[in-house]
Amino acid sequence: MNPGADAREWFEREVLGALPELLGTARRLAKNEADAEDLVAEAIAKAWTALGSLHDRASFRGWLFRILTNTYLSDCRSRAIRPPVESLGDDGEGAGGGEGEQFSIFERLHQPFLLWWGNQEREFFDRLLREDLEQAIDALPEIFRVIVVMADLEELSYQEIATALNIPIGTVRSRLARARSLLQRALWEHAIDAGLARPRSAPLASHRRNVHD
Amino acid sequence: MTERSRISCEQALRLLAEYLDGELSDLARHDVRHHLDTCRSCYSRAEFETRLRLEVTALARVPVPNQFEERVRTLIGHFESIPDPPPPTSADGH
């Protein structure tokens, strides 16, 4: 594609249309607003320069988001922050705690022997604020935050993530599982702090871990 | 109709994340789909995980501050054209 006057109009239209998602994604990657805006601006400038390599206007948006993510990753490298492309060996057992098990909010809400008042799943979602989600994601260790953003905000395929991060697909799978487990644990803590009604143990329960007065 | 061995709850739950991510092979996806259609608690789990994912995905879109939109418009306005642009038209966009 050879950028000319009409290409600039088209480019601007497409970019402005994607701006809410570019900025939303950038905020979760960069964690603060100023850096997020700079990241988006940088990606837009790169996209313009690279427009000749785009063969099909229809794939512009996906291509633009790839540039956004790659810009973030290479900015990390140049700032000598441990880049998300590095594997932590066992995928974060150092960073996320040594637990091998997946943390599951659903399981917590459905433990046997506990009595909840009302519909516990709805209680959970009613209390789940957008800012809780934002904070929980922002608090994730870098390599887990990046992969959750790529999978769940940008909705990239495992293969696309593997290519962008230069890791095997198996690692994408396990790292993503670990990241989501950490995220669920963080959201659970937020829910408890927000006063998610704690269940009482049923009278015949053998453990009283969740009993509160 | 092909007779296929059914998968257990444990197997279905192990595959659930990949299923929801759309990353399973046709066969595996069919097996999980069938299990969810016939198992109330796994179905319930899948609904919960789906809802949670939607909440996360919704973070991807934020209101754009006016100042930032202006910054982007200005940025694009200043881009240099590549040499050999198409002939100028009357509607230049500015």
* pLDDT surpasses 60 at A85: no
Output B4 or A88, whichever has higher pLDDT: B4
Give residue-wise pLDDT tens across range A1-42. Answer: 555 678 889 999 999 999 999 999 999 999 889 999 999 999
* SS3 (DSSP) at A39: helix
Residue in chain B closest to A178 (alpha carbons) equals B17
Structure tokens at A205: 């329960």
CA angle A115, B43, A202 (to 5 degrees): 10
Of A184, A147, A191, give the one whose Cα is nearest residue A169: A147
Min Cα distance A59 → chain B (Å) is 19
CB A153: neighbour CB atoms within 10 A? 22
Rounded-to-integer distance, Cα B39 and Cα B33, Å: 10
Q: Which helix (H) or strand (E) holds A115?
A: strand A114-115
* Any A CB within 8 A of B70 CB: no
Least confident of A37-41, A102-106, A109-113, A151-155: A109-113
Structure tokens at A168: 């095997």
Rounded-to-integer distance, Cα A125 and Cα A121, Å: 6
Give residue-wise pLDDT tens across range A45-63. Answer: 999 999 988 888 888 999 9
Of A208, A212, A176, A163, give the one whose Cα is nearest residue A192: A212
* pLDDT surpasses 90 at A194: no
| B72 chain-A contacts, CB cut-off 8 A | 15-16, 19, 40-41, 44
| B73 chain-A contacts, CB cut-off 8 A | 12, 16
A173:B69 CB<8 A: no
- pTM for the full model? 0.80
Residue for token pair 């704690």: A198
Looking at the partner chain, which of B21, B44, B93 has a beta carbon nearest the beta carbon of A8?
Answer: B93
Which value does ipTM take for this structure?
A: 0.80
Rounded-to-integer distance, Cα A98 and Cα A121, Å: 28
Residues facing residue A115 across a β-bridge: A200
Rounded-to-integer distance, Cα A124 and Cα A197, Å: 9
Residue for token pair 């590549």: B82
What pLDDT score does A120 carry? 84
On whether the CB atoms of residues A58 and A86 are closer than 8 A, the answer is: no
Least confident of A138-147, B65-74, B80-89: B80-89
* pLDDT surpasses 50 at B91: no
Burial code (b: 16+ CB inside 10 Å, e: under 16) for A11-34 equals bbeebeebbebbbbbbbbbbeeee
Mutate to test the interface with B, among A10, A106, A158, A190 (most CBs of B within 10 A): A106
Rounded-to-integer distance, Cα A135 and Cα A28, Å: 9
B61:A21 CB<8 A: yes
Burial status of residue B68 (CB atoms within 10 A of its CB: 0-12, 13-18, 19 or more): middle
* pLDDT surpasses 90 at A104: yes
Residues facing residue A151 across a β-bridge: none
A134:B17 CB<8 A: no
| Average pLDDT score, chain B | 85
* pLDDT surpasses 50 at B87: no
CA angle A119, A120, A126 (to 5 degrees): 90
Q: How confident is the model at residue B52 (pLDDT cuts 50, 70, 90)?
A: very high
Rounded-to-integer distance, Cα A202 and Cα A199, Å: 9
Looking at the partner chain, which of B44, B59, B72 has a beta carbon nearest the beta carbon of A15?
Answer: B72
What one-character DSSP code corresponds to residue B8? Answer: P
* pLDDT surpasses 90 at A133: yes
B76:A5 CB<8 A: no
What pLDDT score does A117 carry? 65
* Any A CB within 8 A of B26 CB: no
How many angstroms separate the most distant Cα atoms in chain B?
67
